[in-house]
């Protein structure tokens, strides 16, 4: 992994979001910084769902926030619909944010407990001066996320389950008719049956509202289910980019392979795979030289310590940053 | 009513016998029965998986057995016996079992270790208290235990504080704490839910290995059917405070009888399914435990429900294969989960 | 680590300097002229000028502060200006030990009472005992200290019989609860150790109660006896009632703070894990719950101790003890500025040192704080 490079960027005019050489650093005192995201690039086409997957500490959530400029990244460009967000003034950025909405992992704490659902869903409309037909619009989005407006409108978040709160969060995001929806682990705190409902709902919403979705999650099966393309991240870098189906059938990166193998499978006849990855995630304070995955990689050789692998094409729309990608695919 | 015996095939005298446990919480909204008449058996060396979503009562059941419920506002009825000793008696009487015969691993390794105590103290504490080991012996044994649970450089880790370890390492420590006094039963309550998948795989493998080496019985509590699939002998599925289906693991997955289990399996996104596949999700959500439906508790969400289900609560019955389920319209075996296209 | 310590010391010195400089400035703003109030009516202009010069009132504030500071670092705080003229240093060294003794005794009493009671009430939160103790603590916080001082005097000095009866009753109740615990617990061989322990506790309580009731000392109504004058026993007797009065309030505050934190901690997974290990409740409380719960207690107790060291004017007045509170308040009333200045400097040092101690205690209590700083 854990490579840089821009070979996977697409050239057609349909790209709605383009991220180039994004770096996010957090100071941790005494002049030291953690590189949460190191020089990653990717793009999303209009109407596409791109999944960002990786384990904790891989920088996927930081990337999602950096795209929304929350906070602004340390360096790199984020181009949304042809506009470089880094060059916008705070006010211009605020005007643009209405077109990019976010859904977070914990739906209950994302909702102000003192407000009614009507206030929560309608607040954006009020702020942006869309008072005409405000109540009708609130009802419309509540219906579309599968809630009964008459029942829901005047209640407060604590009266709803986690799954229902997440539906309310989706309704709040959709009320402003955004173009880009960034979902950060939107279903990981939910029960399996509710998670399935929400995944189906997100798919329906995407079709109904013509959304472009950036879907961040740690669960590969969930990401595969919802995404058209998937980006696998490790320690602030991109390992592999491919269409969802390709990635899981012919994973080219040893890290992707290990992730796929680690998924617990509800089929007792399948033998439990031997433990794939040994060791621990290295400290992001002093990431390994060369390929950042090499300390845990079963295929690592000398070249991995010296030279950082660049993303390169190994198939149609399939890019991988690994010196030994070929041997994984066999 | 829910008296069907869930007998263990392995041993005539089970290690743990739980009979008709009911755990009630007094809440502002009235009595809430979190566990309602659960009966189960665990034999020596066996692994039982308990699967359920939030609110199913699986964690309350474990805490009832472990005597870890809040001291006020809870009443427990029923019987829980470990190797002839009553577990639901006065706490002081059962305490000598905890940590020595029965041990527990908690969900979140970030909070299950005392932040103000060194890693080693967590282990030496039980060794010294229960086994009366001296300071040096306890330390030697603790380092050996850390080594056995796969912590590199154990003697160095012994002196560190929990916050200096990663989540996976901390969970290894809590496992070392749990197995320190060689318990015969290990209760693991969602031991991998808070961990990354590659770490989850390591921890589950470690638990299985320790269980083999030490002949421990284990109860693996989880919300994830995938976690129990390859790693348990039997599975019990809980819903709204009850066991609604239980059988040996292979039968649970291959001959699913209860519509809830069926729905749960269909709700899981599978890595081998094509992208953008619409999931066959269960509709609705679990019932409010304060206002339960009169008939079957799953009826409001069940696609096969009939008038009978609305009116009469189905008992847990056992078929000729020892597969128990509580449903008026069980799925007919052979029910085969779809053929899998393996990748490894 | 050394660098951090050095930074801390520099910061502490800066605070003390700022406080004392601030005092100099504030005293300047107080209406009325010192020299004329010292001399009284009918003094001549020459006397007035001479006194102003002697007191350096004719000089600028910075130069006066500089002079004062130069003296202070060598231990010379000047002389008081109100007769009888005395070395300020000797005034403070006469008063400070009295205050320190009462403050230390009050702290020991309150922590000794608050910590076990907080552990017990937190463990039994919501029970009858908790409600009784918490209600009593709430009452003690609400009672002003002059009233609690009078109550203490009323019971301990004028009705020692009632006090003895109360102590005996508490002792009997504690022993009774231990015995009830015996009867309830089933007698398994494993619990022999616990038996021995609770039997020892019961005997200790009985012995202690009998000893206190039998040997109930006669406390002086007022005044303070120095060790050098009346020996240790009468010194402690004279310090006990003021300390007890102060401890009533302090202990109630500490009890509430610690109880609330303990209740939060008892919900933590690591406490459940300790219980699941089969450790007895008292051990879980003392070894696992107490330390992570004591950060707020340390903060409150640190500030409280510093406050006690500054003197407590009302309690000192009721018991006629001449401590720091008495000294400073009198000095302010008589405009005896060198004494005020020196008193404030002592207090500033006390507060700064206490705060530093609290910080050090934090890092001892929670290794995570240590990690963040290193």
Contact list, B191 vs chain A (CB under 8 Å): none
State mean pLDDT over C197-207. Answer: 88
Give SS3 for B239: strand
Of A220, A227, A278, the CB nearest to B271: A220
CA–CA separation, A237 vs A23, rounded Å? 10
Inter-chain CB proximity A266 and B265 less than 8 Å: yes
Angstroms from A54 CA to nearest CA on chain B: 9
Inter-chain CB proximity B115 and C292 less than 8 Å: yes
Of B71, B92, B98, the CB nearest to C276: B98
Inter-chain CB proximity B68 and C288 less than 8 Å: no
Residue B288's closest CA among B76, B63, B32, B22?
B32
Contact list, C192 vs chain B (CB under 8 Å): none
Angstroms from B295 CA to nearest CA on chain A: 22
State mean pLDDT over B120-129. Answer: 92
Give per-residue pLDDT as tens, B263-285. 999 999 988 888 888 998 888 88
Inter-chain CB proximity B198 and A248 less than 8 Å: no
CA–CA separation, B309 vs B304, rounded Å? 9
Whether residue B183 contacts residue B101, with contact meaning beta carbons closer than 8 Å, is answered with: yes
Give per-residue pLDDT as tens, B298-324. 999 999 999 999 999 999 999 888 899
Is the Cβ of B341 closer than 8 Å to some Cβ of chain A? no
Instruction: Give the pLDDT band (50/70/90) at residue C185.
Output: low
Residue C354's closest CA among C22, C7, C107?
C107
Radius of gyration of chain C (CA): 26
Whether residue B20 contacts residue B40, with contact meaning beta carbons closer than 8 Å, is answered with: no
Give per-residue pLDDT as tens, C135-181. 999 998 898 888 888 998 888 888 888 888 999 998 998 888 888 77
Chain A nearest-CA residue for B55 = A191
CA–CA separation, C122 vs C116, rounded Å? 10
Chain C nearest-CA residue for B113 = C270
C225 CB-near residues (< 8 Å, 6+ apart): C234, C235, C237, C238
Whether residue C302 contacts residue C355, with contact meaning beta carbons closer than 8 Å, is answered with: yes
Residue percentage of chain C with pLDDT more than 70 = 95
Chain A nearest-CA residue for B338 = A267
Residue C307's closest CA among C250, C364, C261?
C250
List per-residue pLDDT tens for chain A, 330 residues long. 445 677 777 776 688 999 999 999 988 877 788 889 998 999 999 999 999 999 888 999 999 999 999 888 999 999 998 899 999 999 999 889 889 999 998 888 899 999 999 999 998 888 888 788 888 999 999 999 999 999 998 999 998 888 899 999 999 999 988 999 999 999 988 888 889 999 999 999 999 889 999 999 998 999 999 999 999 999 999 999 999 999 888 889 999 988 888 888 777 666 666 656 777 788 888 889 999 999 988 888 899 999 999 999 998 889 999 998 877 665
Residue C259 has pLDDT above 90, yes or no: yes
Q: Nearest 5°: CA angle at B268, between B267 and B270? A: 130
Q: Chain B: list its partners (3+ Cβ pairs within 8 Å).
A: A, C
Contact list, B268 vs chain A (CB under 8 Å): 192, 196, 221, 266
Contact list, A263 vs chain B (CB under 8 Å): 197, 226, 271
Q: How many helices (H) and strands (E) does chain B have?
A: 11, 12
Inter-chain CB proximity B93 and C366 less than 8 Å: no
Residue B123's closest CA among B162, B176, B46?
B176
Query: What's the sign of the alpha-carbon dihedral A57, A63, A68, A72?
Result: positive
Q: Chain A: list its partners (3+ Cβ pairs within 8 Å).
A: B
Inter-chain CB proximity C278 and B100 less than 8 Å: yes
**Average model confidence (pLDDT) for chain B?**
87
C22 CB-near residues (< 8 Å, 6+ apart): none
pLDDT computed for residue C372 by the predictor: 59
Whether the model clears a pTM of 0.90, i.e. scores above it, the answer is: no
CA–CA separation, A54 vs B342, rounded Å? 22
Contact list, A267 vs chain B (CB under 8 Å): 229, 253, 337, 340
Dmax over CA atoms of chain B, in Å, equals 68
Q: Chain C: list its partners (3+ Cβ pairs within 8 Å).
A: B
Residue A298's closest CA among A245, A257, A270?
A257
Inter-chain CB proximity B198 and A277 less than 8 Å: yes
Chain B nearest-CA residue for C122 = B71
Mapped to the 3 state alphabet, what secondary structure does chain C carry? CHHHHHHHHHHHHHHHHHHHHHHHHHHHHCCCCHHHHHHCCCCCHHHHHHHHHHCCCCCCHHHHHHHHHHHHHCCCCCECCCCCCCEHHHHHHHHHHHHHHHHHHHHHHHHHHHHHHHHHHHHCCCCHHHHHHHHHHHHHHHCCHHHHHHHHHHHHHHCHHHHHHHHHHHHHHHHHHHHHHHHHCCCCHHHHHHHHHHHHHHHHHHHHHHHHHHCCCCCCCCCCCCHHHHHHHHHHHHHHHHHHHHHHHHHHHHHHHHHHHHHHHHCCHHHHHHHHCCCCHHHHHHHHHHHHHCHHHHHHHHHHHHHHHCCCHHHHHHCCCCCHHHHHHHHHHCCCHHHHHHHHHHHHHHHHHHHHHHHHHHHHHCHHHHHHHC
Whether residue B293 contacts residue B287, with contact meaning beta carbons closer than 8 Å, is answered with: yes
Residue B92 has pLDDT above 70, yes or no: no
Residue matched to tokens 């006629």:
C320
Is the Cβ of B108 closer than 8 Å to some Cβ of chain A? no
Two structure tokens written together for B293: 């439906």
Inter-chain CB proximity C269 and B126 less than 8 Å: no
Give per-residue pLDDT as tens, C12-71. 899 989 988 888 888 877 777 777 777 777 777 888 888 777 777 777 888 888 888 888
Q: How many CB pairs under 8 A join B and C?
A: 95
Contact list, A228 vs chain B (CB under 8 Å): 275-276
Inter-chain CB proximity A226 and B276 less than 8 Å: yes
B contact residues 241-270, partner A, Cβ 8 Å cutoff? 249-250, 252-254, 263-270
**Average model confidence (pLDDT) for chain C?**
85
pLDDT computed for residue A248 by the predictor: 85
CA–CA separation, C244 vs A261, rounded Å? 68
Inter-chain CB proximity A262 and B200 less than 8 Å: yes
CA–CA separation, C289 vs C282, rounded Å? 10
Going from the C-alpha of A309 to that of each of A4, A36, B148, the distances in angstroms are 7, 19, 36
State mean pLDDT over B76-88. Answer: 90
Contact list, A274 vs chain B (CB under 8 Å): 205
Residue B342 has pLDDT above 60, yes or no: no
């Amino acid at each position: 992994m854990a490579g840089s490079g821009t070979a996977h960027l697409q050239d057609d005019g349909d790209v709605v979001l383009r991220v180039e050489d994004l770096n996010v650093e957090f100071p941790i005192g005494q002049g030291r910084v953690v590189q949460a995201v190191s020089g990653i690039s990717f793009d999303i086409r209009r109407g596409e769902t791109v999944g960002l997957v990786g384990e904790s500490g891989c920088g996927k959530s930081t990337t999602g926030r950096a795209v929304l400029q929350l906070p602004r990244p340390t360096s790199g460009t984020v181009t949304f619909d042809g506009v470089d967000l880094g060059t916008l003034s705070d006010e211009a950025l605020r005007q643009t944010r209405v077109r990019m909405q976010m859904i977070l992992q914990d739906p209950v704490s994302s909702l102000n407990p003192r407000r009614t659902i009507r206030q929560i869903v309608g607040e954006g409309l009020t702020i942006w001066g869309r008072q005409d037909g405000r109540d009708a619009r609130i009802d419309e989005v509540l219906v579309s996320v599968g809630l009964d407006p008459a029942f829901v409108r005047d209640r407060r978040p604590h009266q709803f389950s986690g799954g229902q709160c997440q539906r309310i969060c989706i309704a709040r995001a959709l009320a402003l008719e955004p173009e880009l929806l960034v979902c950060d682990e939107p279903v990981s705190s939910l029960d399996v049956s509710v998670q399935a409902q929400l995944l189906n709902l997100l798919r329906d919403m995407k079709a109904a509202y013509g959304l472009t979705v950036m879907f961040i999650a740690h669960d590969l099966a969930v990401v595969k289910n919802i995404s058209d393309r998937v980006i696998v991240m490790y320690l602030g870098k991109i390992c592999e980019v491919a269409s969802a189906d390709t990635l899981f059938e012919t994973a080219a990166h040893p890290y992707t392979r290990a992730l796929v193998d680690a998924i617990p499978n509800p089929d007792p006849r399948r033998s439990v795979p031997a433990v794939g990855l040994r060791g621990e995630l290295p400290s992001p304070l002093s990431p390994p030289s060369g390929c950042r995955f090499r300390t845990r990689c079963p295929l690592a050789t000398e070249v991995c310590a010296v030279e950082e692998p660049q993303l390169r094409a190994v198939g149609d729309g399939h890019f991988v940053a690994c010196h030994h990608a070929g041997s994984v695919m066999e | 009513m829910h008296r069907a015996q869930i007998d263990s095939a392995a041993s005539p005298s089970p290690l743990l016998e739980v009979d008709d446990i009911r755990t009630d919480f007094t809440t502002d909204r009235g009595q809430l029965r979190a566990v309602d008449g659960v009966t189960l058996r665990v034999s020596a060396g066996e692994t039982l998986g308990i699967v359920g979503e939030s609110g199913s009562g699986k964690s309350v059941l474990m805490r009832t057995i472990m005597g870890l419920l809040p001291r006020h506002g809870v009443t427990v009825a029923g019987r829980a016996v470990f190797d002839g000793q009553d577990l639901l008696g006065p706490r002081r009487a059962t305490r000598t079992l905890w940590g020595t015969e029965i041990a527990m691993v908690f969900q979140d390794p970030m909070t299950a270790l005392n932040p103000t105590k060194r890693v080693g103290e967590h282990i030496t504490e039980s060794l010294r208290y229960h086994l009366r080991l001296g300071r040096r012996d306890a330390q030697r044994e603790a380092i050996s235990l850390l080594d056995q649970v796969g912590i590199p450089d154990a003697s160095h880790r012994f002196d560190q504080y929990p916050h200096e370890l990663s989540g996976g390492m901390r969970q290894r420590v809590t496992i070392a704490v749990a197995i320190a006094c060689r318990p015969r039963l290990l209760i693991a309550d969602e031991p991998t839910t808070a961990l990354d998948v590659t770490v989850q795989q390591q921890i589950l493998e470690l638990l299985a290995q320790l269980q083999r080496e030490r002949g421990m019985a284990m109860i693996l509590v989880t919300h994830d059917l995938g976690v129990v699939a390859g790693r348990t002998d039997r599975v019990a599925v809980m819903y709204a405070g009850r066991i609604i289906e239980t059988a040996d693991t292979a039968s649970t997955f291959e001959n699913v009888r209860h519509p809830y289990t069926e729905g749960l399996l269909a709700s899981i996104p599978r890595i081998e399914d094509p992208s953008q596949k619409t999931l066959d999700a269960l509709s609705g959500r679990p019932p409010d435990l304060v206002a339960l439906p009169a008939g079957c508790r799953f009826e409001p969400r069940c696609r096969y429900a009939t008038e009978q289900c609305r009116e009469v609560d189905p008992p847990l019955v056992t078929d000729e294969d020892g597969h128990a389920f509580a449903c008026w319209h069980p799925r007919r075996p052979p029910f085969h989960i779809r053929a899998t296209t393996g990748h490894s | 680590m050394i660098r951090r310590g050095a930074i801390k010391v520099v910061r502490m010195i800066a605070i003390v300097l700022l406080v004392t400089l601030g005092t100099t400035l504030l005293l300047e703003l107080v209406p009325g002229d010192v020299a004329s109030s010292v001399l009284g009516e009918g003094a001549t202009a020459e006397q007035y000028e001479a006194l102003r010069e002697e007191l350096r009132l004719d000089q600028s504030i910075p130069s006066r502060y500089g002079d004062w500071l130069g003296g202070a670092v060598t231990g010379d705080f000047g002389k008081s200006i109100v007769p009888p003229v005395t070395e300020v240093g000797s005034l403070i060294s006469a008063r400070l030990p009295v205050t320190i003794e009462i403050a230390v005794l009050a702290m020991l009493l309150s922590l000794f009472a608050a910590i076990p009671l907080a552990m017990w009430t937190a463990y039994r939160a919501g029970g009858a005992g908790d409600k009784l103790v918490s209600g009593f603590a709430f009452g003690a916080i609400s009672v002003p200290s002059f009233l609690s001082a009078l109550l203490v005097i009323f019971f301990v000095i004028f009705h020692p019989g009632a006090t003895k009866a109360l102590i005996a009753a508490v002792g009997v109740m504690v022993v009774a609860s231990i015995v009830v615990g015996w009867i309830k617990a089933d007698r398994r061989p494993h619990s022999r150790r616990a038996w021995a322990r609770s039997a020892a506790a019961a005997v200790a309580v009985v012995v202690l109660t009998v000893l206190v009731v039998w040997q109930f000392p006669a406390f002086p109504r007022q005044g303070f006896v120095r060790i050098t004058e009346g020996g240790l026993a009468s010194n402690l007797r004279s310090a006990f009632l003021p300390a007890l009065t102060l401890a009533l309030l302090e202990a109630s505050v500490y009890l509430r703070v610690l109880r609330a934190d303990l209740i939060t901690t008892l919900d933590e997974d690591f406490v459940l894990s300790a219980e699941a290990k089969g450790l007895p409740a008292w051990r879980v409380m003392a070894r696992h719950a107490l330390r992570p719960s004591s950060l707020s207690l340390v903060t409150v107790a640190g500030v409280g101790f510093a406050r006690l060291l500054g003197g407590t004017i009302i309690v000192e007045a009721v018991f006629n003890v001449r401590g720091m509170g008495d000294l400073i308040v009198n000095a302010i009333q008589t405009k005896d500025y060198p004494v005020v200045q020196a008193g404030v400097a002592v207090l500033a040092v006390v507060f700064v040192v206490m705060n530093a101690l609290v910080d050090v205690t934090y890092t001892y209590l929670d290794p995570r704080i240590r990690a963040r700083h290193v």
